[in-house]
Structure 1
C-alpha cells in the first residue's frame, strides 16, 4: 500500500496525529505541522521526531510553502463553539486572532492542495451554534471545494476510556474517491472505569486539596444549588467514569477522587490551611492522559499547569484511531 502524507494543523500535543499513526502504521508520514502555542510545541517535540520545524501562526503561512499531502488533520480551536464558552463562533476574537475563522485557513490550504481526505474534530456545540448555521457553513465550504462530507457525534466513553466526552467528527473525502457512504465506528470498548486508569501507587501530597479550598468548593456548590444550578465540584466513584476534561484545563474540580492511600499529608506546596483528611484529591496529568487515550509511553515533560491545559484541549486518541481505521479502509480501496 502507498504511504500517505499528512499535515497536522492546530496540532496541540499531537493527539489526532497519534490516532492516525496507530491506525495507518508505516503507511502514513507527517510532512508538516502547525501549532502556535510554544508550550504545546515542547510537548509535541518531545513525542514526535520530525526532520522539519513546527510552523507557528497558520494565518501567516503561504499555502505554497506546505508540502504536497494526502490527508489534512485539523482540530481547529474549539473555544469559539464550545457550550462552556460564549459561543461566538465566527465572531469570536482572541488575542487579535479570530478563532472561529481559523477554520477558513483549513479551507484555504485544502483548496490549494486538494488532499484526498480532510479530518476535523470539534466540540459538540459546533453543530448547534447559531441555530446550526455555522456547521452548515463548514460543510458547505468543503462541498464547494469538491468534497463529500460525513459527520458524527461520538462519545469517548464508548472507545476504551472512562470519560464522558462528546465531540463532533467530520470526514470529507475528495469527490473522485468518495464512498457512497461512510460508516463511523459506534464503539470499541465500553467497559473502562476510573479504577482502570488511576495511578497504581499513592500520588504525591500536592494533588490533595487543602481543607480550606475544599470548604470553599462546598460553599460554592451550596450557593449554586440554592439557585437551582448544577455547578460545583464533583467527586467521582472509582467504578464510574469521569466528566469531560475540558479546554483550558478547567474543571479539575469536576473530577475529584477520594484516595486515602497517601499517608504523608505534609504539604509540599504553599497552601492555605492543611491537606484535607478525607482523601480528596484531583487527578494527576498522567491520569488525564489516560482519560484521553494517550499511552504511558507518551512523554509529559512540562509543569502540571501546562499539562492540564494541553490534555484538556486535546482529543481522545482511541476515538481518532477508530475513525482513522475506517478512513484507511476507504483509501486502500
Structure 2
C-alpha cells in the first residue's frame, strides 16, 4: 500500500527547484510563498492537470513578513522547506563591500521563517542557504539563527554539500540545515551518490553527458563580440581569463592576476561538471559553452537538473535568473528522500546510503586538485602555442611623443597631432609621452593660462604585467577637479598603448582580489589644499583603497569635521571615484566606507548612481 504523501509548506520558493525535488520524493506541496511575481508565475505555470504540481497547490505571491500561516495550521503540515535570500551572507556580497548578515533586513528573514514554524509546528524543516553563512561576520549570524531554531524545540543537523556529488552536472556548494522535533531520532546526511566519495557509485555527471542530446554535431564555433569577445575562442576548456595572465605563463598578458572574478571568460570543460551557474551574469561571465556561446535555456535547465518539461516564465534574462537562484531539484530530491526515510516515514530500507561515522567530504580537496589540473592544462597549451616564440616584442626604444587630446564631457575624446583651435564647449590638453628605459614620463597641460593647480601621480610595480614598463610619473596642471578624470584617462591610454591590456583595472587588479604589486600615489600642489583635494590625495594612494575605513579615521586623516565626511564622499562619487557608503551600498555597515580604486572609474558603463537609503 503506497504511503501517504507528506503535507509540506514551501517558503522562499523561488522558481520551485526545492519543491520539484521534494514533490518527486513523495511530499505534497500545499502552498508556496514567493515574493517575486515572475518566479511565482513559473510555479503557477507548472500546476494543474497533467502538470508537475497538482491543481490544489496555492501560490502566495507576497512578502514572507506579511504572510499569515493560519490556513496551514491544523491541516497536517509535517514539513516546511525553503531558504531566505542569500545575498547578505554570500561571497558576492563580501566582494561588493561587506556582508551585513542579520543587520540587513533580508538577513532577518529567518525570523519570519521561525514565526511560521512556531505557528504550524511541523515535525521537520529543511533550510538551505549559501555555504558561507556559518563563517559570515565571525559566525555571529549563524549562532543567532541556530539558537532561534533551537528555542522552538528543534534538534539541528547542518552540512555544506556540493551538488555535483549528488548527480547534478554542476559544482554548487549549499548549506543544508535539517531540523526535527523528535529528539529520540538521529538524522544523518546521505552519502554522495556520485563521484569518489560515493559507495562505488557512478562518476560525477559531466556537462556533455547531461546535454549531449541537445547538441548539434554540425554547430560551428561562434564569434563573440565586445571588448573581450575575441579572447573567448582562445580560452581552453575548463579555464577562464586567468589563462591570459603572466602567472599562467602567457607571454604577453591581457590581464593582471586576480583582476577579474573566476567566472570571467570561464569556458566549461565539457567532460566535467560546470562551475556554479550565476543568476545575473554579465556579458563576459561564464559558464560559456565550448562552442564559444552562452548556454541555452534548455541546456541551463539540464545543468541545474530541472525537468525538461518544467516551464519557466519570462524573457531570457529573467529565466536565467530563476535557474541561477534555484536549488538543484536533483539535490533536493536526495535530501527529501533521506528526510522522509529517517524522520517522517522511518524505513529500514533506504533509497540512499547514509554517511558513516567519521565521514569527511573531499570536495574541497578535489577543488584544489582541479585548480592545479587546469594550471597544468594552461601551461601545456601555452607551451604548445608559443613553442617557437623567443620574444614577442623588442623593448621599445627611448622615445618622445607629443599630441593633443580634445574632450567634450568625460567620454567623448579626440586625439590630434596638431594644436586644435580653442572651442568653448570642449577641453583641450597638450600631452607629452616620453619613454626611457622602463619608465614613462607623462606631461599633461590644458591649453589655458588659467590652470594653476598641479597634480603628480606616480605608479610603480608595472613590470610584472606590462612588458618593459616598470613605472610611470604623470605631471599635470588643472583648471578644475574634472581634469583629474581626463588625466587618468590619458594615463590609461599610455599604459595600454603598447600592451594587450584593455583597461587600467585589468592592469591594477580587481580591488577585492589584488595583491600589492601595483602601487599608486597622488600629490596636489599649487596652494592651500581644500578638503576635497586632501580626499583625492588620500584615496589617490593605493594604500588607502580596497579596505574598510571608519568615518572618524577618514575625518582625522582629512582634518575635517565628522559632518563633512558625507558631502566629501558624494562629491568624489560625482567625479567618478567609487567611494562606497551605507547609503550607496546596502552591504556596508557600521558607518564605514570603502574606496575601491586609487583612480576614478573610467568606463562609461560603470554605474555610480546608487539609491541612498532612507
Q: How would you bin the TM-score normalised by the shorter chain?
A: 0.7 to 0.9
Q: Secondary structure at the match of 1:296?
A: coil
2-structure distance, mates of 1:157, 1:299:
23
Relative to the length of structure 2, the TM-score reads 0.46
Task: Please tell me whether residue 128 in structure 1 is matched to residue 117 in structure 2.
Answer: no
2-structure distance, mates of 1:249, 1:85:
15
Contact 1:122 1:169 in 2 (8 A): yes
Deviations 1:265-316 (A, max 9, x none): xxxxxxxxxxxxxxx1111122221111111121234221111100110011
Decide whether aligned partners of structure 1 residues 228 and 75 sit closer, same or farther in structure 2, where only a CA change above 3 A counts.
Answer: closer
Q: Secondary structure at the match of 1:170?
A: strand
Task: Please tell me whether residue 245 in structure 1 is matched to residue 259 in structure 2.
Answer: no
Q: Secondary structure at the match of 1:128?
A: helix
Task: Please tell me whether residue 140 in structure 1 is matched to residue 147 in structure 2.
Answer: yes
Query: Which of 210, 225, 231 is the matching residue for 2:225?
Result: 210
Decide whether aligned partners of structure 1 residues 215 and 186 sit closer, same or farther in structure 2, where only a CA change above 3 A counts.
Answer: same
1-structure distance, mates of 2:183, 2:281:
37
Matches within 5 A, 1:1-333: 1-24=3-26, 28-49=27-48, 50-51=55-56, 52-67=58-73, 68=75, 69-86=77-94, 87-92=99-104, 98-174=105-181, 177-190=182-195, 191=203, 192-198=205-211, 199-201=214-216, 209-210=224-225, 212-215=227-230, 225-229=255-259, 231=261, 232-249=264-281, 253-259=285-291, 280-329=292-341, 330-333=343-346
Decide whether aligned partners of structure 1 residues 257 and 213 sit closer, same or farther in structure 2, where only a CA change above 3 A counts.
Answer: same
Computed over aligned residues only, the root mean square deviation of the Cα atoms, in angstroms, reads 2.6
2-structure distance, mates of 1:284, 1:165:
19
2-structure distance, mates of 1:73, 1:129:
23
Deviations 1:182-218 (A, max 9, x none): 111121123211111232337999x963265514879
Gaps of 5+ in 1: 93-97, 260-279
2-structure distance, mates of 1:14, 1:308:
14
Give 2:466's aligned residue. none
Q: Secondary structure at the match of 1:197?
A: helix
C-alpha displacement at 1:237, in angstroms? 2.0
C-alpha displacement at 1:227, in angstroms? 4.4
2-structure distance, mates of 1:245, 1:19:
19
Deviations 1:203-243 (A, max 9, x none): 999x9632655148799866884144462221112112211
Contact 2:305 2:330 in 1 (8 A): yes
Which structure would you say has the larger RCO, counting Cα contacts within 8 Å and 6 or more residues apart? 1
2-structure distance, mates of 1:74, 1:35:
10
Contact 2:265 2:288 in 1 (8 A): yes
Higher helix share: 1
Compare 285-294 and 110-119 and name the one that shifted more: 285-294
Decide whether aligned partners of structure 1 residues 157 and 251 sit closer, same or farther in structure 2, where only a CA change above 3 A counts.
Answer: farther
Q: Which protein shows a greater Rg?
A: 2
Q: Secondary structure at the match of 2:269?
A: coil
Decide whether aligned partners of structure 1 residues 208 and 187 sit closer, same or farther in structure 2, where only a CA change above 3 A counts.
Answer: farther
Contact 1:250 1:309 in 2 (8 A): no
Gaps of 5+ in 2: 49-54, 196-202, 246-253, 347-614
Contact 1:252 1:282 in 2 (8 A): no
2-structure distance, mates of 1:165, 1:60:
31
2-structure distance, mates of 1:308, 1:294:
12
2-structure distance, mates of 1:204, 1:299:
26
Decide whether aligned partners of structure 1 residues 248 and 99 sit closer, same or farther in structure 2, where only a CA change above 3 A counts.
Answer: farther
